[in-house]
A and B are shown apart, each in its own frame.
Chain A
Amino acid sequence: MSGGNNGGNKNGVHPTPLLDELEDGPWPSFVTGLKRLRDEGGGNCAPIMNDLLGQLERSYEDRKGYWKGGTLSVYGYGGGVIPRFSEISEEFPESKEFHTLRVMPPPGYHYTTDILRKLCDIWEEYGSGLIAFHGQSGDIMFQGCTTENTQKAFDEINKLGFDLGGAGPALRTAMSCVGRARCEQSCYDEARAHRGIINRFLDEMHRPSLPYKFKFKFSGCGNDCVNSIQRADFAVIGTWRDDMKVNQDEVKAYIAKKGRKYMIDVVISNCPTKALSLNDDDTLEVDNKSCVRCMHCINVMTKALSPGDDRGASVLIGGKRSLKVGDMMGIMVLPFIKLETDEDFEKLEEFAETCIEFFADNALEHERIGETIDRIGLPAFLEAVGVEVDPNMVNHPRTSCYVRTDDFDEEAAKWFERQAKKQDQPQNMK
């Protein structure tokens, strides 16, 4: 596919003195890549990239962007393509249409070189040759396609087994950490939950009709490598219920290597709930009832400590960035849902469905689910999605006395009834 095609640039290339400065320095340069496409790219890459570089240089000069949006999608879908039209296309006609295809990657971002090469070949033939691995929502972003070629490029990508991701008021592309594939901290099969949920609700992704965006993210433990609490409407984070596992010989080996003071300063004192204590014989004592599964001690002593065996996940709802009422983190809604059997995963998917339906029915236009919850109050949300209140949902109980409590006794009776039943998982789903 490659091999020079400078035909489109026969009138010479746009000078790019400002961008050229970004070719120096030790970090890999995107400018060098763009120029290589300009000089050697196949298909229409060369002329597109020449004008794209010209427009980008203009942005660097003027400190202004020159793209505008529009509407465009592929046959059968209503979303997944981000249309871009140049506002200065008289000067840079070859890149006047520079659309992006958002394509969902495999969970955990695993690829063979074979599949990557095929994707590259398609994009060199139909697009600009520029691909981002990956967007902040998780997509492979194939950037720079004409309106005419968008359908063709999608067809070829689709034939390889890849599908468009989300855009607009819709279910969005999800993200999961490397997890099970290579991480000993993983407490559930992130990719399985990820594929199970997204592939069940593809209609909500491909034919946008929700009040606004809805994002899922899957992290295998509290390290939250995909930033789910702050960025996902529905965050699934691995955790465990039983005791963490301690290999006392490895604890001693760690102390022998790093010293007792270091062990106390770095591990013991950093436990957020003072759940750790060092015994006189250099063994570690863990107060598992107080441990909040923060992962710190396990991160530091990877050989000595590991999550327990009774594993599953927590679900937090409502994370988002600033628009419009300000930043929000997700709220702990399901402290624990076991995730092992087919049935367990089915329950998680059903809960996801309940939340999406709630969102579709109750959110105002352009409102994220976290904002809906703030507007109606957490109790009303819990009632609507069938979840019992749980002290893990709060930092502390309310401090304001402005609340009507005449049914307090009935609510208390429910609590005692639940406590008596000691219901099994998912703990607080009705």
Chain B
Amino acid sequence: MSEAQEKPRMPDEVGVPDHFQYMHPLLKANHGNWAWHDRPRAGVLRHVSKSGDVVYTVRAGTQRQMDVFTIRKLCDIGDKYADGHIRFTTRSNIEYIIADKEKIEPLIEALEKEGFPVGGTGASVSMISHTQGWLHCDIPGTDASGVVKSMMDFLHKEFVRERMPNRVRITTSCCQINCGGQGDIAINVQYTKPPKINHDLVANVCERPAVVARCPVAAIRPAMVNGKPSLEIDEKKCVCCGACYPPCPPMQINNPDSTKIAIWVGGKHSNARTKPTFHKLAVANLPNNPPHWPEVAAVVRKIIEAYKADAKDWERLGEWIDRIGWKRFFEMTGLAFTKHHLDTWTGARKNMNSSSHIRF
């Protein structure tokens, strides 16, 4: 075991690597000197530099959770068509930079032949940004990768063309912490019952004051259960958020019967036209139904279809709803408006209509 006793290697604290060493030479040469861009077709961007250089970017969807074989396949394509350089977008699409216009079509063909859809640009439905789910997370209520695969299978046709009013950015999150973030449409786990406490484990596993402190509505208090220190929940207060679960896994929130999915709409992170907005509840209590989540898909489809049919050019989903009003949104999508759509959290009042503006 002498090897094991060898002095461990100290890390080389290199931090964020220098991007220039990996950047396509044409991007490097025109760094900070771009003049304008347009999109010759869906999935292809053309950027023109002030120097007169022109580069084309071909964008394709990936499964994000990639095996090394898939990555190597993408690399082979990059070696053949894009001078051995690639980049990823924030939504896990891959991009190839090419100078030679003649290579665009063969590159697209090569990507499509290997099953990577070309698109995700402009007014399309791009790849869903998502979290880890059952594959790796320790607190998930669903499997983000599976939901995404199921949704993208039917949204594929809107990924490969630009026929939406404006870009559609969808996110999924497999618990209410919402690592997936805000979206035009957000598909998120919504727990519907307070945690069931495994009292045998609390004392050993959980730092009780930390768990008490984590609850946003002060519903947890220390208690003795069966002679052991544990916790108890005021179920009338509990909002089923799951915040107590990460610091204390015995607070079992992700009961299969009560883990549901909610869909939120109208989140937007860009500042274009309107200020950024948070997504708002459209529907809750949809079943968490692997492997295809058909009930979720049906609602997403309805929302996308209504938006596509009715929104004006450049109107994001939330801006469209602002124009037509929530009444028509619920009518057009066939979804129910319930008391649960009335916000009850801090600051709720500013979400109410205190004017005589109404729609019929």
Contact = CB atoms under 8 A, between A and B. Distances in A.
A287 to B, nearest CB: 16
Given A60-B291, A158-B11, A199-B16, A182 B71 contact: no
A159 B12 CA distance: 8
A225 interface: yes
B342 interface: no
Contacts of A2: 68-69, 72
A136 B181 contact: yes
Interface string A129-155: 111111010000001100000010011
A68 B16 contact: no
A24 B138 CA distance: 28
Nearest to B37: A302
B64 A132 contact: yes
A52 B270 CA distance: 38
B360 interface: no
Interface in A55-94: 56, 59-60, 62-69, 74-77, 82, 84
Nearest to A272: B273
A296 B149 contact: no
Interface of B is mostly: loop
Interface string A166-186: 000000001101101111101
A96 interface: no
Interface in B101-138: 115-117, 129-138
Interface in A313-342: 321-327, 329
Contact of A28 (B62, B90, B141): B62
Given A60-B143, A65-B137, A104 B16 contact: yes
A347 interface: no
Contact of A104 (B17, B28, B254, B291): B17
B344 to A, nearest CB: 11
A211 interface: no
A357 B313 CA distance: 45
B322 interface: no
Given A124-B68, A182-B57, A323 B11 contact: no
A21 interface: yes
B314 A296 contact: yes
Given A27-B63, A68-B249, A227-B181, A195 B18 contact: yes
Contact of B66 (A130, A144, A292): A130
A227 B269 contact: yes
A429 interface: no
B314 A266 contact: yes
Contact of B181 (A112, A230, A292): A230
B243 interface: yes
A302 B254 contact: no
Interface stretch (A113-121, A277-285, A385-393, A400-408): A113-121
Contacts of A163: 11-17
A60 B142 CA distance: 9
B85 A110 contact: yes
Contacts of B23: 108, 110, 181
Contacts of B94: 133
B308 interface: no
Nearest to A301: B36
A223 interface: yes
Contacts of A300: 314
Q: Which of B68, B85, B134, B179 counts the most A-chain CB atoms under 10 A from its CB?
A: B68
A189 B154 CA distance: 38
Contacts of A41: 67-68
Nearest to B64: A132
B75 A181 contact: no
A135 to B, nearest CB: 8
A104 B14 CA distance: 10
A123 interface: yes
Contact of A223 (B32, B57, B69, B271): B271
Contact of A65 (B97, B129, B138, B150): B138
B235 interface: no
A69 B247 CA distance: 10
B204 to A, nearest CB: 13
A51 interface: no
B304 interface: no
B174 to A, nearest CB: 8
A130 B67 contact: yes
B67 A107 contact: no
B354 to A, nearest CB: 13
B83 to A, nearest CB: 9
Given A123-B68, A265-B312, A181 B19 contact: yes
A133 B146 contact: no
Contact of A76 (B10, B38, B115, B136): B10
A269 B61 CA distance: 34
A51 to B, nearest CB: 13
A109 interface: yes
Which 10 A-B residue pairs are closest in the complex by CB-CB distance? A25-B153, A33-B67, A222-B271, A59-B134, A199-B15, A113-B75, A106-B19, A184-B34, A27-B152, A63-B256
10 contacts: A28-B115, A67-B138, A109-B87, A109-B90, A112-B85, A115-B22, A184-B37, A222-B271, A229-B269, A303-B38
Given A109-B89, A113-B79, 12 more contacts: A25-B156, A33-B63, A63-B288, A75-B8, A100-B136, A110-B24, A110-B87, A136-B129, A143-B135, A184-B37, A270-B314, A302-B38
